[in-house]
Chains A and B, each alone.
Chain A
Amino acid sequence: MPNSPQTPGIVAQRLSSDQVVQNFATYQPAYAAHEARVAADRCYFCHDAPCMTACPTAIDIPLFIRQIATGTPDAAAKTIFAQNIMGGMCARVCPTETLCEEVCVREVAEGKPVEIGRLQRYATDSLMAKGVHPFTRAADTGKRVAVVGAGPAGLACAHRLALHGHAVTVYDRRPKAGGLNEYGIAAYKSTDDFAAREVEWLLKIGGITLETGKELGRDITLAGLEAAFDAVFLGIGLGGVNTLGLAGEDLAGVANAVDFIATLRQTADKSALEIGRDVVVIGGGMTAVDAAVQAKLLGAQTVTMVYRRGKEKMSASVYEQEHATAGGVTIVYGAAPVRVLGAAKVEGVEFAYESGETFTLKADQVFKAIGQTLADAPMARDGKKLVTHAGKVWAGGDCAAGGEDLTVTAVAQGRDAAEDIHAVLTGTVR
């Protein structure tokens, strides 16, 4: 271990390889069987349960928890997967504290909800560990659908279409399928190559052809797909990132948080990754939190997240904020960046409070996490996003209008688009 957290500059191996492995492995342990039974027993099996309403994919949560409580986690998993084929990943990354668990009556009553997310993970892990795919594809319909983007929206859409017997080709510009599950989720939330294993498991439905390394606008075109397929689904995510538009932004040591996160996910030995001693993250969303937390896990000495508005406006949940601060990240609220300082490389960032007062944070590495954008618009827009349906083309996930930019929302939109496409292709609706 040649370096330490105190070593100046952007360097690798600030911590031992073993320490880094441990740092990324200890986020939220899986339930043991007895723990799951006890946790499941806390569920009141509410009538018209609020948790179910709060879930974007409308999983029958009281039912699956009762199935766990009665010792049938595989049945619980089927209940989950019937609504959300990526229930395994959602169990890991959903901000449950602002969805199902926020409205759990026991959260309201006691401040301690039923741990729905962890229970969902217990159930889905149980079935997936057996390598069993719980659904059987319907007879081939002869219809062909193109899905662009192998992220949560595209894969959820592809799976539901395949289930109904349509032949699906999924295109993705990256070398691996999974989208943000593979490249965007914090590494400590998707351990043991879970995203890739989930894709492999999902594809067992059959009828789905995966074409990676194919980018819309470069290798394929929307017009070409519309001509060749009966329907097209766009789940292309948000390919662009917002820029600060400030002096010094191009200095060495300034990077996009999404790239840092993607690199982290694709690196086996994370201790080999370079990280700054004094890291500044600009932004207040989940991407900012993930970048800040993981910078700390790699051994950065100081990590400061700076958000221009107040704590209550932050899109990262209170739970995530507390997770960050508990991990050693400092969060500064109500300060906007003024300029990035440095000569050959970044040396600091100057910020201004709303009062106009300025201060400078020392930095040898800066991550920008101030939002992603739809890079190109292959079809009509609804505000800054794509319309969800026009002619033979549907859209869902982060690129499309409606809902929050969450994995679970993307799954819901992909699934619902598939049902819509299925209805149109089979002539149920026109």
Chain B
Amino acid sequence: MANLASNFIGIKSPNPFWLASAPPTDKAYNVERAYEAGWGGVVWKTLGSEGPPVVNVSGPRYGAIWGADRRLLGLNNIELITDRPLQVNLDEIKAVKRKWRDRALVISLMVPCDEESWKDILHRIEDTEADGVELNFGCPHGMAERGMGSAVGQVPEYIEMVTRWVKKHSRMPCIVKLTPNINDIRKPAEAAHAGGADAVSLINTINSITSVNLDSFAPEPMIDGKGTHGGYCGPAVKPIALNMVAEIARNPATRNLPISGIGGVTTWRDAAEFLALGAGNVQVCTAAMTYGFKIVSEMISGLSDYLDDKGMGLSDLVGRATPNVTDWQFLNLNYVTKAVINQDDCIKCGRCFAACEDTSHQAIAMSADRTFTVKDEDCVACNLCVNVCPVQDCITMVEVPKGGVDQRTGRKVGDYANWTMHPNNPSVAAAE
């Protein structure tokens, strides 16, 4: 069994699976049970400044979207940072960390955007012996209206400024948690890097309305007839998170900045994908909130088996796919594939035909006996048929080898050539 021991910016944990700062990590009871279940670390639910505790709504805090069989695909929440007294949290963090030395325990923080507030909270948590801090510049609801959370995370200058304060007033490793509610994720990451952050974590939740109650005409979750945007998470956000992780990992300015990957990690495979794109570890919340702490067992066994199968160590996987993330303009325009339908596997549902005929390139023929075949002369290899086919691997994309003829264009498949070399590219013409 592969060794999953993780060292993320000097913070050690027996595996790279941490629980993200969220309701599952808001008290000793939960965190200890998570550790017992096998979680490598937790980021304690965000602490705020000393003072009257934060107040949450007492109506529904979560909204959701579901797939077949009511499988939860996306969750949104309007819960704020911890609503427990600061000292209670600090005492529990200290006790838990002493009891669980081998596990990672990072404290998430969110205080007003002034140096005194940050200095004060950092001094208060020093005594807990926690392994690090995560700056919550991400939450898009509630706290953002008070100038915190994503209100900071959307302004790179603020990120840099606060990160500097934190590094100035604390020796603890500092992770900056980024909001995805921004145009270019590279900018806040660069700002965190410039401020001296040891790592970034992403993504925090996405601004969202999950559904509208069509009887009350209000968004869900509905509080006394009104609703507000919440933070969206869960399996549905994974593709967005993967892209943002990759953008930071391949950005020359932040290439060596460690990343804690967050966003819809539900299985070992999701985790492995984040790691391959450059995340040093992953944080999980929605999967635990949906299925309980036990799911980490599957993540551990799955990742371990995968690494064993590949003969790789954990560190070999991190960033393994990053070099293969590129810009569109560098894709090989001379790479030609054609869809091929395996007639033995085909169940004759005709979805490939409907998709191609109605919405794509009319490149699939249907016979009277419901045999579906690809017309190579029309197939642009868009892959839509592959994606709508209910039978996995029934339709595959087969490469036309170099020197072979693309029946659609009548041209021979040539050597690698991308858009920057293409005669139709005005920039190429201008350079001549």
Contacts and interface: CB of A to CB of B under 8 A. Distances in A.
Interface size, B (range)? 10 to 19
A105 B370 CA distance: 11
B349 A46 contact: yes
Contact of B351 (A44, A106, A108): A44
Interface in A111-129: none
Given A41-B68, A44-B390, A105 B354 contact: no
Contacts of A58: none
Given A47-B353, A50-B370, A108 B68 contact: no
A50 B347 CA distance: 11
A105 B69 contact: no
A109 B351 contact: no
Nearest to B358: A47
Nearest to A42: B68
B146 interface: no
Contacts, number: 35
Contacts of B70: 34, 37
B348 A108 contact: yes
B69 A109 contact: no
Contacts of B68: 38, 41
Contacts of B350: 46-49
Contact of A41 (B69, B347, B366, B391): B69
B82 to A, nearest CB: 36
A27 interface: no
Given A34-B70, A38-B69, A41-B69, A47 B347 contact: no
B69 A44 contact: no
Contact of B349 (A34, A37, A38, A105): A105
Contacts of A135: none
B354 A109 contact: no
Contacts of A108: 347-348
B370 A109 contact: no
Contacts of B366: 47-48
Interface in B120-139: none
A109 B348 CA distance: 9
Contact of A44 (B349, B353, B370): B349
Contacts of B354: 47
Given A38-B68, A38-B69, A50-B370, A105 B347 contact: yes
Contacts of B370: 48, 50
A41 B366 CA distance: 25
Interface in B148-177: none
B417 to A, nearest CB: 37
A45 interface: yes
A48 B68 CA distance: 24
A109 B342 CA distance: 14
Contacts of B69: 37-38, 41
A109 B347 contact: yes
Contacts of A105: 347-349
Given A34-B70, A38-B69, A41-B68, A50 B390 contact: no
Interface in B335-381: 347-351, 353-354, 366, 370
26 contacts: A34-B70, A37-B69, A38-B68, A41-B68, A41-B69, A44-B349, A44-B390, A45-B351, A46-B348, A46-B349, A46-B350, A47-B350, A47-B351, A47-B353, A47-B354, A47-B366, A48-B350, A48-B366, A49-B350, A50-B348, A105-B348, A105-B349, A108-B347, A108-B348, A109-B347, A109-B391
Given A44-B349, A50-B348, A50-B370, 8 more contacts: A41-B68, A44-B390, A47-B350, A47-B353, A48-B366, A105-B349, A106-B347, A108-B348
Closest 8 CB pairs of A and B: A47-B350, A47-B354, A109-B347, A41-B68, A105-B347, A46-B349, A105-B349, A44-B349
